[in-house]
């Protein structure tokens, strides 16, 4: 009976942890140090790779913020400045920005490249859901 109770307790703790990691609708600021942990902890993550000098990146920034609110609880959105985080840029072979890296259950499942309209980005994300 004690073993069964211990299993129940572990399951409840795991469920509570998962519930607390639901996205709030805010865009996370990611870097070389926290991207792996973020991708591992959240089931569906979209990372907007951008740079300060990139005009198209600035154009889609408000779209990313809207999507983060629209998909709160379902998709975690993050922003990663590739000029300051070259490790990620090299690891995922990012050679054009804006590039959105799409992760599902810890694995890279796709990339969305370019400053696309909101409905196009949503359509692409639906393919990965």
Between these two residues, 105 and 10, which has the higher pLDDT value? 105
State yes or no: pLDDT of 19 exceeds 80.
no
Whether 54 sits among the annotated catalytic residues: the reply is yes
Residue ranges per domain, the chain? 24-128
Whether 49 sits among the annotated catalytic residues: the reply is no
pLDDT of residue 123: 95
Whether this prediction's pTM lies above 0.85 is answered by: no
Q: Which of 27, 28, 39, 57 is catalytic?
A: 57
State yes or no: pLDDT of 20 exceeds 90.
no
- State the architecture of 24-128 in CATH terms: 3-Layer(aba) Sandwich (3.40)
Q: What is the mean pLDDT of residues 68-97?
A: 94
State yes or no: pLDDT of 115 exceeds 90.
yes
Q: Which of 35, 39, 46, 54 is catalytic?
A: 54
DSSP per-residue string spanning the chain: -HHHHHHHHHHHHHHHHHHHTS--SPPEEE-TTTHHHHHHHSSEEEEEEE-TT-HHHHHHHHHHHHHHHHTTTT-EEEEEETTT-HHHHHHTT--SSSEEEEEETTEEEEEEES---HHHHHHHHHHH-
Tens digits of residue pLDDT in 59-72: 999 999 999 999 99
State yes or no: pLDDT of 87 exceeds 60.
yes
């Amino acid at each position: 009976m004690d073993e069964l109770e211990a299993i129940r307790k572990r399951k409840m703790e795991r469920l509570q942890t998962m519930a607390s990691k639901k996205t709030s609708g805010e865009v996370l600021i990611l870097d070389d140090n926290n991207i792996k942990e973020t991708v591992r902890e959240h089931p569906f993550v979209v990372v907007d790779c951008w740079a300060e000098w990139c005009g198209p990146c600035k154009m889609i920034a408000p779209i990313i913020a809207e999507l983060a609110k629209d998909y709160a609880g379902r998709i975690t959105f993050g922003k990663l400045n590739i000029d300051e985080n070259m490790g990620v840029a090299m690891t995922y072979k990012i050679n054009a920005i804006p590039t959105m890296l799409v992760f599902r259950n810890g694995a890279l499942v796709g990339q969305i490249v370019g400053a696309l309209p909101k409905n196009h980005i949503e359509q692409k994300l639906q393919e990965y859901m």
